[in-house]
Each structure stands twice: as C-alpha cells, then as structure tokens.
Amino acid sequence: MTENVWQRWPSREALSRAGVPRPRRALDAGARVLVGGVLLWTTFADSDLHGWSVAAAVLGVLVGGFGIWGFRRTTLDHRLLPSLGLLVLPFAAAMVAHSADLRVLALVLWCVCGITAMERLPLVAALPATSVALGAYAVVDHDGRPATVATTGGIALLGYVLRLDAEARGNAQRLLAQERAARAAEAESAALAERARIAREIHDVLAHSLSAQLVHLEAARLLIERGAERDQVLDRVVAARGMAREGLAETRQALSALRGEMSPLEEFLSELVAESVGAEVTVTGERRPLPAEVSQAARRVAQEALTNVRKHAPGAKVRIRMDYGPHEVTLNVRDSGAPPGEFAHTGAGYGLLGMRERAELLGGSLEAGPYEEGFMVTLKVPV
C-alpha cells in the first residue's frame, strides 16, 4: 500500500486542466504572463547585459520555458524519464542565469522546478527533484538560514498543496464521469425495458388475435375448396371478424397503457366482468395507484383467465378478487366449473404461460390449476 502511494502518479484528470472553468484558466494564464513579464523586465533592467549577452539570456529563458511546457506535457502521459529530462532544462537555465549574475531569475526558475516537480511527479521522484531545486535555491539565497529554511519549506508545502488540490479535482472529475456513465446506462436500460414492454404488449395483444384469425380464415378457405355450405363458411368469417374486433380493441387499450392513459384497475375489472354473465369483482385493501407494468400484468391475467373460462367452461360463474396488500397486490380469478354437458377445463394454455413469464419479470408469481370443481388463477406481484 505504501509503495503504491510513493510510486503512484497523479491521475491524468488531476494533471490536465479538464474541469477547470474557463475564467479560472484565463486568470491563471494572465497571472503567469504578467508575473513572467515583470520578472523578465526587472531582471534585464537591473543587469549589465548588452548585445549578445541579452540574446543569450533571452534564449536561456525560452529554453527554460520550453522545458517547463514539455515537462507538463510528458507528465500527462506518465513518462518519468522524459519528464525528468525536460525538467533539467529550466534547472540548467537557472544555473546559467546565476552564472550570468541574474540571481532573481535563477531563484524563480529553481522555485518553479521545485513546485512543478512536487505537483506532477510521483513522490519517489518528486522529493529528490524538489530537494535538488530547493537546495540550489538555498545555496544561492542570501537572506539568512532561518528565512531560507522557511522559504524553501513553504515552497515545498505549496507544491504539495497544489498536488492535493489537483488530485481532489481529478477525483471529482472521475466521479462526475462515472455518474454520467451510470446515468447513460440507466437511461439505456430504461429504454430497453420500455422496448421490451412494448414488445410484450404487441405479442400479447396481436399474436393471439392474429393467430386465431388465421385459423378461422384457413378453415373458411378449406370449407370453400370442399364446397361447403354458405352458412358454414360465413360462421368462420364472422368468427374471424370478431377476433379482429377484439384484437383492435385490445390494441387500442395497450396503446393507451403505453401512453400512461390507463383507467383505474378496479374500473377496468368492473368493465371486464360486465361483459360476462355470472361474474363479480371484489376489491380489498387500501386502493392506490400501481406501476404501469403491475397494472398491465393484472389486466392481462384477468383477460386471459376470463377468455379461458369462456373457452373451456362456458356458463361458469367467475369471481375476481383484487387485494391490495402492504407489499404486494394479489389478483385471484376463480370459476365454478363448467355446467353439466359443457366443455371441461383443458389446462392453463399458452396464454397463462406468457402471463407467468410476465409476472416473474416483475418479481412476482402466477399459479393456475384446478380448485374444487372449477379452476383458479392467482397472480402475486410485489409493489
């Protein structure tokens, strides 16, 4: 753990200027230009350099500035040796400036080397580089030992504080990027879930209706080919038309559900049993709005259960019970069984298998099977 701390580079987000507001960037750049200009003016105005000496001094300053710029670029890629090599340029420029009696310029360049190294290098390299730069500063400085120690310590502390500030900014940038990625993934997941919901609605509504219509129309075609009576063919066509009407009504209802325009579940169940003779609805518990997926699942199960009753136990009495529990809702559809001479139950059918899959996707369950003399379907979904 300690080894990682000493060898770890500041993050790329910390070393870059990403996330820094433009006004602050402009202020920092203006401050650097102003300080650099004042420093150069003061340095050359107070010196005895002339002619080629001035040109050499300017060249040395440019070399030092290029070294700092290149150092900042290479540290972005976490390349240690090139970074240290470029840091040598401003350090060497400071040595040349000191030998040319440009003491202030040399001190400033060494301070910049120390601060920049502490801010941008791994600690295992930053501490030696900063020590060398500030050591050169201490040798040249003539303000007395206590003042020199205080100054070099403050410069090193400033570099470390800048490092911590950059790391904090980098961590904030990473967290922001992670949050944005999480939101994007959440939005994509929601879109996929909505697509799956639409696909299920289309399948539940159209697949059953179209397949039933196809059966009736195919039967009508076969009857026509065999020369059957007109009434037989007409019965098949009328049945197909009825299935088409039912499918169209269910499609409109599904589209309304997808738009969030569903009527209350209790109202829907009441309208559903109104179409069936001998059916009744009982609602218990504290009524409350349900999520669209839960409400739609209950509607589909009730529809499928009544359809099965009409197909397999025509004339049976049906009781629908809707219970609002504290943590789940329960829909129970029970019939009394087919009267004597009518069809008996033949099973839950593929429709209820689809409803069971829908319930499991919502974290619930669906049970269907014989009950006393009839048949019972029970849907439980957590809310």
**Boundary residue ending a domain (142, 161, 187):** 142
Q: Domain range spanning residue 108?
A: 2-142
Residue-level pLDDT at 349: 47
Residue 184 belongs to some domain of the structure: no
**Boundary residue ending a domain (142, 161, 188):** 142
**Boundary residue ending a domain (96, 112, 142):** 142
Residue-level pLDDT at 48: 61
Residue 147 belongs to some domain of the structure: no
Residue-level pLDDT at 323: 92
* pLDDT tens digit at each of 383 positions of the chain: 445 778 888 887 777 776 667 777 777 777 767 766 666 666 666 556 565 666 666 777 788 778 888 888 888 888 888 888 888 888 888 888 777 777 777 888 888 888 888 888 888 888 888 888 888 888 877 777 788 788 888 888 888 888 888 888 888 888 888 888 888 888 888 777 767 767 766 676 676 677 778 888 888 888 888 888 888 888 888 888 877 877 776 777 666 666 665 667 788 788 777 766 667 888 898 888 888 778 888 888 888 888 778 777 777 888 899 999 888 999 999 888 765 544 444 444 456 777 788 788 888 999 988 887 788 899 999 98
Residue-level pLDDT at 201: 67
Residue-level pLDDT at 208: 66
Q: What is the CATH number of the domain that holds 289?
A: 3.30.565.10
Residue-level pLDDT at 343: 41
Residue 252 belongs to some domain of the structure: no
Q: How far is CA 142 from CA 146, 151, 279, in A?
A: 11, 12, 103
Residue 258 belongs to some domain of the structure: no
Q: What is the 3-state secondary structure (H, E, C) of 277-331?
A: CCEEEEEEECCCCCCHHHHHHHHHHHHHHHHHHHHHCCCCCEEEEEEECCCEEEE
Residue-level pLDDT at 38: 67
Q: How far is CA 45 from CA 37, 40, 98, 182, in A?
A: 12, 8, 16, 58
Rounded to 10°, the helix 52-76/22-45 angle is 150
Residue-level pLDDT at 344: 44
Rounded to 10°, the helix 22-45/103-120 angle is 150
Residue-level pLDDT at 253: 67
